[in-house]
Amino acid sequence: MVAGVNYPMHCPPEGQASVVVAFRCDGEPKTQGSKTMGVTKSGRRFMREDGGVPLKRWRKSVSDAASLYMRDKSPEPGPLALDLTFYLRPPKAYRKLPHVRPDLDKLARAVGDALTGIVYKDDGQITTLRLRKVYARVGSPGVWVTVTRVDAAGAD
C-alpha cells in the first residue's frame, strides 16, 4: 500500500477503453507556482521553485498513486483529457464554494507535472482540461484524477 493513496471506490469498467487511469490521492493539495531565477554572491545561477518541500511531497504522493494504478503500462501516447477534482479542507467559517486561495490553475499544474512520464509522456498531450475545487464534506482533502483518451476523429 502506498502512503497517501486512497483506493478508488469506482474503477473504470474493462470495456471503457477511453479511460487511461482514474484514482484518488489523499493529502493536502499543494500549488505549483512560478520558478524564480537568482544569482548567489559568488555569481552562480540557480532556479528556485515556489512550494519547496511540501510541493515535492505532494507531487510524489500523486506520482506514487499514478504509478500504482498504471502498473506495468507505458505512458499513454496521443491526445488526452485530464479531469481533476480537488477536495480542500473546509474553513471554520461557512462558505459554500472555495472561491479563495489556493488557485485552481496552480493546483492543476502540480498534478499535471506529477503525472508526466507515468501516465503520459508530456503534459503537452493534454488537449482538454476539466478542473473543480470543492470542500471535502466527508473524508480527507485530496484530488480525484481521471485521464481519458481524446478521439482525434471527433475533434473540431
Q: Which SS3 state, helix, strand or coil, does residue 154 take?
A: helix
Q: Which three cell numbers stand for residue 137?
A: 464534506
Rounded to whole angstroms, how far apart are CA atoms 67 and 57? 15
Q: What is the pLDDT of residues 67-88, one digit of tens each?
A: 999 998 999 999 999 999 999 9
The C-alpha atoms of residue 109 and residue 20 are separated, in whole angstroms, by 19
pTM of the model: 0.79
| Per-residue pLDDT, 6 | 45
List Cα–Cα distances, 16 to 21, 31, 113, 137, in angstroms: 11, 31, 25, 29
Domain boundaries, the chain: 5-154
CATH code reported for the domain at 5-154: 3.30.1330.70
